[in-house]
């Protein structure tokens, strides 16, 4: 199968699944807790469970996230479950996301599309809809660059989503990630450390600085397995 035929087949599959997703109306982006996503998905036959906790200083904001996802044909299909506390006010959301990637799209370049939609469990109304394009440039075996361009829709309106990040592979089991992101009307800079505890278990630690000087700290554990 040629690359062009493969891309067309993948796009056809993506469109079909997106129609089902959007008609069901069922938050966050793919790619773990990092705001800038990479243009990769799990290999065929595999699933991943992402779970993280976040705390933002000055805002008294806490989040718990659970996000299982599996490779289904040409796409990665996942579910997002989030529980947040903002100055003592609690909220919960549940949603779905799809991610399709052309890998490679060009030599050393991969790109795709991600669509996510989430509902507020208390009101039953749409809390967040996200569409963006992730691009990854494999500059070398130890250095990668990622870029995202897209849009978010919340009950307060639409905002642009744009960000870039770089990832250095320090060893076979650890890497450093630095990112700069703008979304939801806010800007942040994040520094993270990714550690492969085993070939199936990944640990992520990161700290971010927001525009108002608040700090966000996240601890994440990811487990990938063959179904």
Query: For 14-46, what is each residue's pLDDT tens digit?
Result: 434 333 333 333 334 446 899 999 999 999 999
C-alpha–C-alpha distance, residues 191 and 204, integer Å: 11
- Residue 190: pLDDT above 70? yes
**Stronger pLDDT, 7 or 65, i.e. the higher one:** 65
CA 121 to chain centre: 21
- Residue 6: pLDDT above 50? no
Q: Residue range 142-150: average pLDDT? A: 96
Q: Residue range 74-82: average pLDDT? A: 97
**Stronger pLDDT, 77 or 86, i.e. the higher one:** 77
Backbone angles phi, psi at 12, to 5 degrees: -65, -40
pLDDT for res 42: 95
Q: Residue range 159-187: average pLDDT? A: 93
Which class does domain 3-226 fall in? mainly beta
H-run or E-run covering 53: strand 46-56
pLDDT for res 213: 84
pLDDT for res 31: 60
The domain segmentation of the chain, as residue ranges, is 3-226
pLDDT tens digit sequence for 215-224: 999 999 999 9
Within 8 A by CB and 6+ apart from 224, the residues are 42, 46, 47, 48, 49, 200, 202
Q: Residue range 159-168: average pLDDT? A: 96
Yes or no: say if 134 and 148 are a contact pair by the CB < 8 Å rule: yes
Return the minimum-mean-pLDDT range out of 9-13, 60-64, 96-100, 106-110: 9-13
Helix (H) and strand (E) counts for the chain? Answer: 1, 12
C-alpha–C-alpha distance, residues 195 and 218, integer Å: 14
Mean pLDDT, the chain, integer:
87
């Amino acid at each position: 199968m040629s690359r062009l035929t493969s891309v067309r087949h993948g796009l056809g599959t993506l469109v079909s699944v997106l129609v089902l997703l959007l008609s069901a109306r069922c938050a966050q982006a793919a790619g773990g807790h990092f705001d800038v996503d990479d243009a990769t998905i799990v290999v065929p036959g595999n699933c991943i469970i992402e779970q993280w906790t976040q705390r933002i200083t000055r805002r008294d904001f806490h989040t718990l996230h659970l996000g299982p996802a599996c490779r289904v044909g040409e796409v990665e299909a996942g579910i997002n479950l989030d529980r947040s506390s903002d100055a003592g006010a609690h909220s919960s959301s549940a949603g779905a996301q799809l991610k399709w990637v052309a890998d490679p799209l060009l030599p050393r370049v991969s790109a795709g599309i991600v669509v996510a939609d989430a509902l507020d469990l208390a009101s039953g109304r749409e809390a967040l809809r996200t569409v963006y394009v992730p691009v990854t440039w494999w500059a070398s075996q130890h250095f990668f660059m990622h870029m995202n361009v897209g849009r978010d829709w919340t009950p307060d309106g639409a905002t642009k989503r744009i960000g870039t990040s770089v990832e250095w592979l320090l060893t076979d089991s650890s890497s450093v990630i630095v990112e700069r992101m703008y979304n939801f009307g806010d800007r942040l800079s994040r520094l993270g450390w990714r550690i492969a505890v085993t070939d199936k278990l990944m640990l992520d630690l990161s700290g971010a600085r927001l525009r108002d000087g608040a700090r966000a700290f996240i601890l994440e554990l990811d487990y990938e397995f063959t179904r």
